Amino acid sequence: MKKTHASIYFVAVIAFLFYSCSQNETDSVDAKAESQQFKIINVTNHDGKSFSTGDAKSSETGKYVENPGGGVMMQAFYWDVPAGGNWWNTVNGKLTDWSNAGIGSIWLPPASKAQNGPLSMGYDPTDYFDFGDYNQNGTIETRFGSKTELVNLITKAHAENMKVYADIVLNHNSGGQSEANPFTGTNTWTNFTGIASGKFKRTYNNFYKNSFGNNDEGFFGGFPDLCHADPYVQDWLWIRADGVGKYYKNTMKFDGWRFDYVKGFGPWVVNAWNANVGGFSVGEYWDANVNTLEWWANNANSSVFDFACYYKMNDAFDGNNLALLNDDMMWKRNPFKAVTFVTNHDTDEISSKLLAYSYILTHEGYPTLFYKDYEETLDKNKLNNLIWIHNNKATGNTSILYSDNDEYVARRNGYNGNPGLVVYINNSTSWQERWVETNWASTQIKDFTGNSSWYPTTQGDKWVKIQCPPKGYTVWSVNQ
């Protein structure tokens, strides 16, 4: 789903628009997750299958490789980034700093030519093979730049040991010509035979309603609804070697996919794409119901954005009820299929953002940073510190140690020699202190955020007193 700006939906004639936990610790993952525990040296892909790297750092650069639950993603755009064709160059100029900070992947906006030409954010796709090199829809370049600039960006990201994810819009198309449609008895804007690339031409036969049925799971914004049941559409999207998926992966060198508005079609579509094309994938299934998110992720064989976590964080941090963080979330069901986030280009509800980032960057799941939060709004030094903590300390499964309206304490239990951490989040207006049980006996620990100057030593029974500043957080681990 995305913001509905009238400008991007102009199509000649049509313009449519859309309990509180006790101090007793409770493990957030069950016994089977023990086999899925990860550490920085244990890399796991999007479907939960482990593969060995020997070390999760590149032996050439020492920078962290991408893996869900072990990496950090940057959403490298926001809604209405500056038009004028310079966005690819803007992102390119930031890649080295992002990589040095420990960010392992970037998610780009839809890169192909869309109906609203130089003003489009890409969510109204016309020609999947025009990356800013054909004169159509009133422009040669896209809003973001030229194909050459996009290729340079991807090449630079790979040189920095970063993965690049393409935003893919498969539900709907826009910008076709009017044609008589025997299935509707009217004219529809479904003639894409004149697209400049000449690849993946489409007519009314390839959109609902058609010979395959009246509709699929959902349509969006009045746009022509692409029919994935059509073998011709399947062939061009994910089967043929020069089709959309394989061209993006093998020629353009994208490493993975963010699938837009996956409520609009069955999860089998993403499953088939993943089976034929490969690469990391995450779906935008906008639903706070964790059962629904888990159902979609399992059937799509894909990661999914953890909207359950997003809405719980909003209620917890902005509603002064941190006990809500005990509730179920996708990362607790399967951290290797959960992409966590605080803000994105569509929704920006959480006001206590640093507390939310301290949560997702210390907990399981694949955390995502939002460009504006990182580059413009929040303290970049604090976010870089949390990225470092995530990449170096946030290992093992999670135990919630304490929660009430104002305080939340959780422990990452460590893995394979990495000691893990204890995170303390305080949403009150005064300093707080609390005794907690760690995994470390008679060991000096410290706060790796620098928000506390304490260097306490745990007792022989592993208990220790820690502290946290008002409206702040601390992250404790072995002082080494």
Letter string b/e over residues 245-277, b meaning 16 or more CB atoms within 10 A of that residue's CB: bbbbbeebebbbbbbbbbbbbbbebbbbbbeeb
Annotated binding-site members? 171, 235, 406
**What is the distance of C-alpha 365 from the center of its chain?**
10
d(CA 262, CA 303): 12
CB 159 within 8 A of CB 152: no
**CA 185 → CA 15, 179, 210, 219, 222, distances in Å?**
20, 11, 11, 19, 17
CB 421 within 8 A of CB 385: no
d(CA 93, CA 377): 19
How do 256-259 and 280-283 pair as beta strands? parallel
Instruction: Point out which residues pair with 467 in neighbouring strands.
Output: 433
d(CA 452, CA 442): 20
At 37, is the secondary structure helix, strand, or coil?
coil
- Angle at Cα 433 formed by Cα 427 and Cα 438, nearest 5°? 105
Query: Count of CB atoms within 10 A of residue 212's CB?
Result: 17
Choosing from 225, 255, 284, 364, the catalytic residue is 284
How do 432-437 and 463-468 pair as beta strands? antiparallel
CB 253 within 8 A of CB 158: yes
User: Catalytic site residue 284?
Assistant: yes
**What is the distance of C-alpha 157 from the center of its chain?**
17
Residue located via tokens 């004639």: 13
Instruction: Point out which residues pair with 280 in neighbouring strands.
Output: 256
Annotated binding-site members for Ca(2+)? 171, 235, 406
Is residue 3 reached through a cis peptide bond, with omega within 30 degrees of 0 on the bond before it? Answer: no
CB 375 within 8 A of CB 355: no
CB 126 within 8 A of CB 10: no
Look up residue 92 and give its two tokens: 């390119």
**What is the distance of C-alpha 63 from the center of its chain?**
20
CB 468 within 8 A of CB 425: yes
d(CA 81, CA 144): 8
Choosing from 130, 260, 375, 447, the catalytic residue is 260
3-state helix, strand, coil in the chain (%, to 5): 30, 25, 50
Residue 203, classified by CB atoms within 10 Å of its CB into exposed (0-12), middle (13-18) or buried (19+), is middle
Q: Which residue numbers are catalytic?
A: 260, 284
